[in-house]
Amino acid sequence: MANILDIRRRIRSVTNTRQITKAMKMVSAAKLRRAQERALAARPYAQMLTNVLKSLVSRAEIYDPETGEPRHPLLAQRPENNVFLIVVTGDKGLAGAFNTNILKAASRFLESKAGKNIEIETIGRKGRDFLKRRYPMGEPRAADAQAAAQTTIIGELVGALNKVDYAMASDMAERVIERYSKGEIDSVYLVYNEFKSVIAQRLVVEQVLPIGQIGEVQVLQAEEMGAKEKERAMEAAKGAGVGVRPVDTREIDTQAARFAAAPVDYIYEQAPGELFRSLLPKYVGIQIFHGLLESVAAEHAARMTAMDAATNNATDMIDSLTLVMNRARQAKITKEIIEIVSGAAAAQ
């Protein structure tokens, strides 16, 4: 039978751990709420921009009316030889399977593009650490490079996720657009964890370039949450006081839908085609920004769920340890009584 003192010590240690996990859960819940607010605040701009572009597509005859071919390089499909992949993970662990799942999805995507030249840029420490073990670091490839197809990591961004801002996303967008226009890369994908609400999340691979239909995200690969994960996330959210329903964006969307779409004849200070050309790169930026914001929210949600599960496990452990301790204590008392009784009997 285990020593009572040892068990008591273990109970104390598990109680301490539980306190930490509980605190981390509440912190994650608070951060999640903030991240959700930021994602919501970004929505009007994104919707309005999409809207303007959509209305400009028809006005500026972006698609050739006869052949249906797009007249803008960022819209044109071309043979895909050089792929650029942006992997968004978290900087920290302790978030359950969050990072692992993203990296699994990224690996699957890389397999599907096997035989092509692939360049990876990682955002988040966890993704960098994992991918660096598998693929060599490399230099961005020049447009006319003739080297054999290979997968290299050409960039990393670590420690930036706790202060995601639009400048970060737009820098990245500018960089990929420039390389795309030069022909150094033929397509750009973004893999991240999409976040609608705590219980509605998907792992997605989105095509950023070339742009397909404006206002429609091209998802190449998507994975919903499992039923079990959902249940657990629901419980965690309830415990932390986080809403599980997706935020209602209808009002924002209808407001935004009115932007630049009034049934009047606008005076265009610049030609619609010119406007379209200067707006389209912003669209790429906003798409990346959106991915970053959702990934941050999803990371906090995952951590909240993981820490909730850890707290529950600690509680279970304390219960069973207490049971063992009580049993040991009782056994000890029984033993002492037997000793006294038999001692007394022997003395008679």
Partner 1 sequence: MSDTFQLEIVTPEKMVVKDVAEEMQIPGKNGYLGILPGHAPLITELAVGEITYRHAGDTYHLAVAWGFAEVLPDKVTVLAETCERAEEIDVRRAQEARQRAEDRLKSANPEIDFVRAGVALQRAETRLEVAEKK
In the complex, the residues that contact partner 1 under the rule CB under 8 A are 38, 41-42, 44-46, 48-49, 52, 165-167, 169-170, 259-260, 262, 264-270, 274-275, 278-279, 282, 285-286, 289
Of 63 and 166, the one with the shorter C-beta distance to partner 1 is 166
The CB-of-259 to partner 1 minimum distance in angstroms stands at 6
Burial of 252 (0-12, 13-18, 19+ CB in 10 A): middle
In this structure, which amino acid lies at residue 121? E
Q: Find out whether 163 and 123 touch, Cβ atoms under 8 Å.
A: no
3-state secondary structure of 313: helix
Of 170 and 312, the one with the shorter C-beta distance to partner 1 is 170
Q: Find out whether 297 and 36 touch, Cβ atoms under 8 Å.
A: yes
Of 180 and 289, the one with the shorter C-beta distance to partner 1 is 289
Of 167 and 340, the one with the shorter C-beta distance to partner 1 is 167
Q: Long-range contacts made by residues 224-229, C-beta under 8 angstroms, separation at least 24?
A: 225/199, 225/200, 225/201, 229/305
The CB-of-268 to partner 1 minimum distance in angstroms stands at 5
Of 31 and 282, the one with the shorter C-beta distance to partner 1 is 282
Of 127 and 285, the one with the shorter C-beta distance to partner 1 is 285
Of 225 and 293, the one with the shorter C-beta distance to partner 1 is 293
Tokens of 230: 């959902």
Tokens of 150: 């290979």
The CB-of-161 to partner 1 minimum distance in angstroms stands at 16
**Quick one: which of 290, 281, 282 has its CA closest to 72?**
281
Tokens of 177: 């657009």
CA distance 250 to 241: 23
The CB-of-45 to partner 1 minimum distance in angstroms stands at 5
CA distance 133 to 110: 15
The CB-of-281 to partner 1 minimum distance in angstroms stands at 10
The CB-of-62 to partner 1 minimum distance in angstroms stands at 16
The CB-of-43 to partner 1 minimum distance in angstroms stands at 10
Please report, for residues 13, 36, 112, 131, 300, the alpha-carbon distance to residue 106 in angstroms, rounded to integers and kept in the order given.
38, 24, 10, 10, 20
